[in-house]
Every structure is written in C-alpha cells, then in structure tokens.
Structure 1
Amino acid sequence: MHYSIDFAQQMHFPSNPLQPGPVYFLTPRKCGLFGVSCEGLQKQLNFLIDEGMSSGKGSNAVISYMHHFFTHFGVGETDVDLHCDNCTGQNQNNFMLWYGAWRVAHKLPSTLNIHFLIAGHTKFA
C-alpha cells in the first residue's frame, strides 16, 4: 500500500458561532490539518487539530497520528511505501526512520519503505 502524509496550512474558523450580528472576529480560531492519503484506494484521512489541543508539528505528533492511522484505519497491509516531506528542521526524518524500524521489528508490516521528497517539492496529490 502506498501512503503520503503531510501537514497542510492551518484553517481558520470563528471561535464563537453564536455571536449575534455580522461582526468579524479579530482573531479566528486555528485548526491544524494533518492528512494521510492512501494512494491505492484513493482515500484520504484528515486529522483536524484544534489550536488548544495542538502539540506542534514535531515528530511526536506525526508519529502519534501515523500510529493511530495504522492501528484504526490500516487495511492490514504487509508492504508499505510511505512518502513524507523532508522536514530536517524538526528532526522528523530520524524519528520516522526509527518508527518504521519499530513497526517492521514488531512484524506490523513486513516491509516499510520511507521516501522523503526533495526539499521544495512537498506537494502531494
């Protein structure tokens, strides 16, 4: 199975939808978006993260979302190809490699190939 993962730009929405009148909000509430696209099935799962619950875009968050995805939404794949953006600044590459090694060591997939896109080419389908 082939998956692509990435964070999208934050979405903004009003923080109080019950406010009377057509008044614009000075500071809209932010919502983070992390997507896992299953290229083989042409389906995508999006994690919507409220700004109050966000722990950032670091490796802990990415691995937590991926582990939740594979545990609850995986299709029982034995071979995984995973495309990620190249986030060396947040040190996600090292931790993603360790997470992949952990999954294979526990025989969750038989093989897991992680592909990092070239810097500047971080757009997925």
Structure 2
Amino acid sequence: MDSTSEEDKLKYSSELQQHVEACKIERDVYKDWLQKSTDELYGVNRLPIPIRPLLHNYRYIHYTFDFSQHFTLPHRCRQIGPMYFVTARKIHMFGVRVDGIPIQYNYLVDENETIGQNKNKYVIAYFCWRVMAKLHSTIYYMMQIPGHARCLIDAGFAHSKRLYRRSDVDLLQDIAEIVDKSTASNKAVVMKKENNELEWEWRDWKTFFACHFKPLKGIRQYQQFRFSSDHPGCVFVKKKTTMMQKLK
C-alpha cells in the first residue's frame, strides 16, 4: 500500500481544522443561549413545574431534549450468568431539560408503547404549529454537528445510568426511583402512576402533522431553524451560524 502523499496530508489536515472550527462556532452559540437563559432565570423562584407558554416576562427559555440509551428489565448489579442471554424488556427514556432552572424531566416509556426516534420532520412541524397557535412568538431550534453534540442533558442521563448499574431493578417504578435519586435536577415522569392515573397523555402528532404540514426537504443539511408568529407556516433555515438564513 502506498503511503499518503504530502498533498493529501495537507488536505486532510485542512479539512480537519475547518471541521473543528465549525464545531467550535456552533458550540459557542449553544453556550451563549444557555448563558442568556441562566442569567434571565437567576434568582427566580425555581418551582419544579413546567414554565407555561406566553409568559411575557421571559424571553430566553432554553430547552434541551434527546433520547437516552434504553434501560432493561430485570437488571442486577451483579448480573446472573444465564440472564445475559435473555432478551430483556426495554424501557426508553426521553429527556427534556430546562437549562436555566435547571431541571430535567425524564419521560420513561415502556417498549410496548409506540415510540419513534430521530423524527426531525415532525419536530419541525410541531414547532411550526406552536407559533401558529400563538403559544410562542419565536422559537429557535438548533442542532449540534453530529459527533459533537454533548450537552448538559447527557450529564443527567449519565447520573441515572451510573446509579442504575449499581442497583437491582425489577419494575418500571424502580427505574423511576433511580432517576429521581440520581441527582437533584433529575425528575422521572412515568405514563401511569401506581394507581393507574395518567401523568401525561400520549398524542398521535405524527398522523396530525402528516395531514396538515409538508416535510422540509433536505432537512439534514441545516443546523438552525427559526419559527416566527409573524410568518405562520414558514421556517427560516441556516446551514451554519455564519451563513444567511433562508425562508422555506
């Protein structure tokens, strides 16, 4: 095999440097919005409840949301040999973090519930619907460059996973208790409480949006999206922070 030429080395080094610089710019944008939210909510009475929409005294409420790696049931901190080969029951966890407070709501979803990950086109439609419904005046939706997307919500997931690995778990409620105990900012949210009372409602947004919204073409090439009540049904997009936004 021929060795890499000096020209190729320079080319790859230049591409790597450009990639790192682009990631740093996007990371700085994330840190800037995070700081604005933290400063605005500093000293506010931090009740463990969701912040209602259309509160005019707040401008920079910063949310981070993502899926965690699933949990499995049952689980033993000292795994029993034969159980290693058994297909365990999966419990998915979807986290929504209010960074300025901070509090992280971790929604625990059993595998028998319908769930889909990485459905960005429906997320775009949902944000578009929220500004059309006057629940927000402006929404910015920003994504990190793949491979450089670590943020505070991952720290919340890590605390839960660390305690989970050291615990014996048999029930969904056991996982909820682990999440609650893992750190002060983590809060578990299960669909059904022990008395079968619903704590949150599952809605079929996918079917609704498929009928009323068109998917955004080439969605993967964009890093930033802006939704405004002044332009209902439209989305402003950017491929990079340094580029001009386009109206779609």
Residue matched to 2:141: 114
| Correspondence for 1:43 | 103
| Counterpart residue identity of residue 124, structure 2 | L
**Which has the higher Rg, Structure 1 or Structure 2?**
2
What 5-or-longer segments of structure 1 have no aligned partner?
Answer: 16-21, 60-91
Moved over 4 A (4+): none
| Distance (whole Å) between structure 1 residues aligned to residue 145 and residue 118 of structure 2 | 19
Change (3 A) 1:54 1:123: farther
Query: What is the SS of the residue equivalent to 2:70?
Result: strand
> Does the alignment pair 1:52 with 2:112?
yes
Aligned-CA RMSD value: 2.0
Equivalent residue letter for 1:47? Y
Aligned to 1:123: 150
* 1:54, distance to aligned residue in structure 2 (A): 3.5
Pairs within 5 Å for 1:29-108: 29-59=89-119, 92=120, 94-108=121-135
Establish whether residue 4 from structure 1 lines up as the match of residue 64 from structure 2: yes
TM-aligned CA deviation for residue 23 of structure 1: 7.7
Task: Deviation per CA, 1:7-56: give whole Å up to 9, x if none.
Answer: 010111218xxxxxx78532221111100000011100011111111333
The alignment-based identity, stated in percent, is 35
Letter in 2 for 1:105: M
SS of equivalent to 1:57:
coil
CA distance in 1: counterparts of 2:130 and 2:98, whole angstroms: 18
Answer 1 or 2: higher relative contact order, Cα 8 Å, separation at least 6: 1
More deviation in 22-31 or 43-52?
A: 22-31
Q: Which has the higher helix share?
A: 2
Tell me how far apart the structure 2 counterparts of residues 34 and 4 of structure 1 sit (CA, whole Å). 11
Pair 1:24–1:37, CA change in 2 (3 A): farther
